[in-house]
């Protein structure tokens, strides 16, 4: 098929996640960047568009101009969806405007900065019927899809216990919270409920729900700023329940010295435990109750993989894929969905999954502020 045309908001010069999105789209192969509003600084936006080879009239000075400008283009030319890679507090306003203009929205995570903004976002989506995807990247790895398929298949029995942790060390010292990346993440005005639980705890949450195929319903949490002088949480943990009765623990911390991007999960079912680590993503360990542990590895040619896993692998076994390919799976599936050809179990997170991640953050904060009281996620309201 012809590549799906998309526009990007945010992600200009010096950004981390913008280039990642664009490389992901390039790997996906079925998307093409045609327009952008890459910075809130008009000159920087212009320079970024030029560097990316966009036509001058498709490089906009603001997201409002982008939405308006693209709407005026011919149907055969205009952007077919918008990718939002701005700081969190801008996700909702941009998304709502885009949905109202008829543009599907693929937004970075977390969905928004506040529960209120998330509910407004959801209302706009409901009203317009527009397509929304959220880039909870880690759930798009092939072996995560495979784990999800294994649990859904039922042969492993009910889930009993989950242990997930997402530990990073890049904010281990007070002086680490500098630079474009770090600053807005530790600034409540721009990151809202973010902090460690918002930034990476939501990924851990989404990973649990993706593999488990069930909702997290309750939690008891303790969050804190471990490094003196911070206003947002940089370290925390929670105990939780899944809808089916399983119990779990979740750790999210950015002050774990020595760890890079340590997202790892264990899900123990009645007949086997599943173990996956993001830093070695092509391996899924299946530890059976009776019989030897098995090492399932990614590979387009692995006959034992479920279609949900193997359909998003580009290379034969032994040719490792990584983070950029996982991200590409999201773009690939979202582009298919935009054209009305969404796969049965797409790799992007749905709006409701993104919304639940917001309720997870809110519940964690509420529990932490109330001495660890158990909170139902459903009880978090704007």
| Pair 120, 91: CB distance under 8 Å | no
- Output 64 or 261, the one with its CB closest to a second copy: 261
| Residue 235 interacts with a second copy (CB under 8 A): yes or no | yes
Binding pattern for the stretch 157-196 against a second copy, x by CB under 8 A and - elsewhere = ---xx-x-x-xxxx-xx-----------------------
Token output for 265 = 């999960």
Applying the rule CB under 8 A, the residues between 45 and 84 that interact with a second copy are 53
Q: How far is the CB of 170 from a second copy (least distance, A)?
A: 8
Quick one: which of 9, 144, 286, 351 contacts a second copy (CB under 8 A)?
Answer: 286
Task: Spell out a b/e string for 320-354, using b for 16 or more CB atoms within 10 Å of the CB, else e.
Answer: ebebebbbbbbbbbbbbbbeeebeebbbbbebebb
Least Cα distance to 125 among 100, 91, 94 occurs for 100
In whole angstroms, the minimum distance from the beta carbon of 200 to a second copy comes to 11
Q: How far is CA 54 from CA 31, 65, 334, in A?
A: 15, 16, 22
Token pair recorded at residue 125: 């989506």
Q: 92 or 328: whose CB is closer to a second copy?
A: 328
Rounded CA gap, 323 and 320, in Å?
Answer: 10
**How far apart are CB 153 and a second copy at their closest, in Å?**
15
Size of the site for a second copy (CB under 8 A): 85
Beta bridge partners of 276: 265, 284
Regarding 154 and contact with a second copy (CB under 8 A), the answer is: no
Contact string (CB under 8 A) for a second copy, positions 94-113, x = contact: --------------------
Q: Rule CB under 8 A: which of 6-25 touch a second copy?
A: 16, 19-20, 23
Q: Which stretch binds a second copy (CB under 8 A): 87-95, 103-111, 272-280, 334-342?
A: 272-280
Residue 325 CB partners (closer than 8 Å, separation 6+): 27, 314
Residue 226 near residue 233 (C-beta atoms within 8 A) = no
342/324 Cα distance (integer angstroms)? 21
Among 75, 303, 340, 344, binds a second copy (CB under 8 A): 303
Nearer to a second copy, 100 or 293 (CB): 293
For a second copy, the binding residue among 71, 102, 322, 339 (CB under 8 A) is 322
Footprint of a second copy on 115-134 (CB under 8 A): none
324 touches a second copy by CB under 8 A:
yes
Angle (CA) 290-291-296 rounded to 5° is 120
CA nearest to 284, candidates 308, 251, 255: 308
Binding mask 351-380 for a second copy (x = CB under 8 A): --------------------xxxx------
136 lies in the binding site for a second copy (CB under 8 A): no
């Amino acid at each position: 098929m012809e590549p799906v045309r998309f526009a990007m908001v945010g992600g200009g010069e010096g950004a981390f996640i913008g280039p990642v999105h664009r490389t992901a789209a390039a790997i996906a192969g079925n998307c093409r960047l045609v327009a952008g509003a890459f910075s809130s600084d008009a000159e920087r936006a212009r320079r970024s568009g030029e560097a990316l080879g966009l036509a001058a009239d498709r490089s906009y000075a603001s997201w409002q101009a982008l939405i308006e400008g693209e709407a005026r283009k011919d149907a055969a030319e205009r952007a077919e969806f918008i990718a939002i890679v701005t700081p969190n507090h801008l996700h909702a306003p941009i998304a709502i405007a885009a949905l109202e203009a008829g543009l599907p929205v693929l937004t970075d995570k977390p969905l928004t900065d506040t529960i209120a903004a998330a509910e407004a976002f959801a209302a706009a989506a409901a009203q317009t019927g527009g397509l929304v995807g959220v880039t909870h990247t880690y759930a798009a790895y092939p072996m995560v899809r495979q784990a999800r398929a294994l649990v859904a298949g039922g042969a492993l029995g009910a889930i009993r216990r989950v242990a997930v942790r997402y530990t990073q060390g890049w904010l281990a010292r007070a002086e680490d919270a500098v630079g474009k990346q770090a600053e807005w993440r530790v600034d409540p005005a721009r990151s809202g409920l973010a902090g460690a639980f918002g930034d990476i705890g939501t990924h851990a949450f989404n990973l649990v729900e993706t593999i488990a195929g069930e909702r997290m319903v309750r939690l008891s949490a303790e969050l804190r700023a471990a490094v003196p002088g911070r206003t947002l949480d940089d370290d925390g943990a929670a105990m939780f329940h899944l809808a089916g009765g399983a119990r779990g623990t979740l750790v999210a911390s950015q002050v774990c010295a020595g760890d890079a991007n340590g997202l790892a999960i264990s899900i123990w079912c009645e007949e086997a435990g599943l173990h996956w680590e993001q830093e070695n993503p092509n391996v899924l360990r299946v530890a059976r109750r009776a019989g030897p542990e098995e090492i399932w590895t990614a590979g387009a040619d692995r006959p034992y993989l479920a279609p949900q896993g193997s359909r998003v692998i580009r290379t034969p076994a032994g040719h490792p894929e990584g983070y950029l390919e996982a991200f590409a799976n999201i773009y690939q599936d979202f582009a298919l969905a935009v054209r009305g050809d969404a796969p049965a179990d797409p790799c992007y997170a749905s709006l409701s999954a993104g919304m639940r991640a917001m309720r997870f953050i809110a519940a964690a904060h509420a529990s932490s502020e109330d001495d660890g009281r158990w909170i139902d996620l459903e009880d978090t309201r704007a």
